[in-house]
Amino acid sequence: MRIFSGIQPTGRKHLGNYIGAIRGYLDGQERGDPAIYCIVDLHATSVSYEPAALPGYVLDTTAMLMAAGLDPERCILFRQSDLAEHSELCWLLSSVTPYGDLQRMTQFKDKSAREQQLVRTSLFTYPVLQAADILLYKTDEVPVGEDQRQHVELAREIARRFNSTYGEVFVEPEAVVPKTGARIMDLQSPDAKMSTTGSTEAGRIYIDDEPDAIVKKVKRAQTDSGSGVVRAPEKAGITNLIDIYSVARGTPPEQVEREFEGQGYGAFKQSVGEAVAGLLAPVRERYADLRANEGELERTLRAGAERARELAAPTMAEVHSAMGLAARS
């Protein structure tokens, strides 16, 4: 069972990253043979970004993943741009990716609308690079948040089309999405996903936020005018907090509703804030220690890249042979 997932090094990681993706990475580390996790810095260049800051963001993300529990001895953890195979396979897979499929990608529509000066071609072809990331390792499972399901489906389509055109090379991957917390919403705008770029400071909880800051943000979360702690389409804010509390406490959402039956929003928000602070406290503390040693983080990424290359090189040799390109050793 090969498991692969990638995470962008775009600033501080938030609760949505932790619940929607990083928890799945930890589960994959237990089951994967191997579990492969990539800091996708090439993807970060598809929108406006600060080049001087990007290397630091890569180390921030590496330290955060390790603080959350990823062990480079038990999984493969590496930086995308250390392997040229990702970029090359993206180009080759473009030959079997219809233009119309990329036009239908929801994230391209959302992100391109936010780009004020330049909508990059790389943002349009982003899903092909993501497919290359996944298919390069003949991945069986991809732990992702709900918002990435469409991209994994495209990777499956690309694998099928390549195999039918050139011969069987790639595995069709399956998306693995958490049953609870697959899409954590902005605390101030519960109809929008919590994100690094789209949310306000008050709307997202950073993994390295201090406990008091976490509790304060949760207390100020937008909710409806009712009082019942129950999930419902018209109660987006409370539904989001129930999901968050369910994950933080490791209890089903139905049990959360029973636990707070008859209680008001104030008491519930206090409990959610404290539960999240408790969940993230050990990660925050370990992150501070790991992030201070940049040399060790760089060594970890380089070692991971070597291990990843051992898997990527044979796949690229097969691709070259199938497509009639120069032989790869």
Residue 192, domain member (yes or no): no
pLDDT of residue 122: 84
Q: Are residues 114 and 236 in the same domain?
A: no
Say whether both 241 and 319 belong to one domain.
no
Same domain assignment for residues 164 and 251: no
| CATH number assigned to the domain comprising residue 247 | 1.10.240.10
CA 116 to the chain's CA centroid: 25
Amino acid at 267: A
Same domain, 103 and 149: yes
- pLDDT score, position 268: 95
- What the block records as the tokens of 329 is 């050793």
- 284 and 316 in a single domain? The answer is no
Three-state DSSP state, 50 = coil
Q: Same structural domain for residues 208 and 278?
A: yes
Show the low-confidence residues of the chain (pLDDT under 70). Answer: 113, 115-116, 198-199, 329
Q: Are residues 169 and 224 in the same domain?
A: no
Cα–Cα distance measured from residue 21 to residue 41, given in angstroms and rounded to the nearest whole number: 17
Co-location of 147 and 231 in the same domain: no
The reported pLDDT for the residue numbered 115 is 67
What values do phi and psi take at 206, rounded to 5?
Answer: -80, 150
Judgement on whether residues 254 and 128 belong to the same structural domain of the protein: no
Q: Residue 265: which domain range?
A: 201-288
Could you tell me the CATH number of the domain that includes residue 31? 3.40.50.620
Would you state the pLDDT for residue 193? 87
Position 64 in a domain: yes
Check whether residue 151 and residue 68 sit in a common domain: yes
- CA dist., res. 172 & res. 263, Å (int): 47
Q: Domain tally for the chain?
A: 2
Taking the whole predicted model, whether its pTM rises above 0.85 is answered as yes
d(CA 124, CA 18): 26
Amino acid 116: pLDDT: 64
**Is 190 part of any domain?**
no
> In this structure, is residue 187 part of a structural domain?
no
Tokens read off for 287? 């992150």
Q: Is 212 among the domain residues? A: yes
Q: Are residues 114 and 234 in the same domain?
A: no
Cα distances (angstroms) measured from residue 325 to each of 51, 132, 221, 317, 318: 34, 17, 56, 9, 10
Sheet containing strand 76-79, edge to edge, reads 76-79, 35-39, 3-7, 141-143, 174-176
Residue 168 makes CB contacts below 8 A (sequence gap 6+) with: none
Judge residue 233's burial from the number of C-beta atoms within 10 Å of its C-beta, 0-12 exposed, 13-18 middle, 19 or more buried.
exposed
Position 185 in a domain: no
Give 94-125 as a 3 state SS string: HHHCCHHHHHCCHHHHHHHHHCCCCCCHHHHC
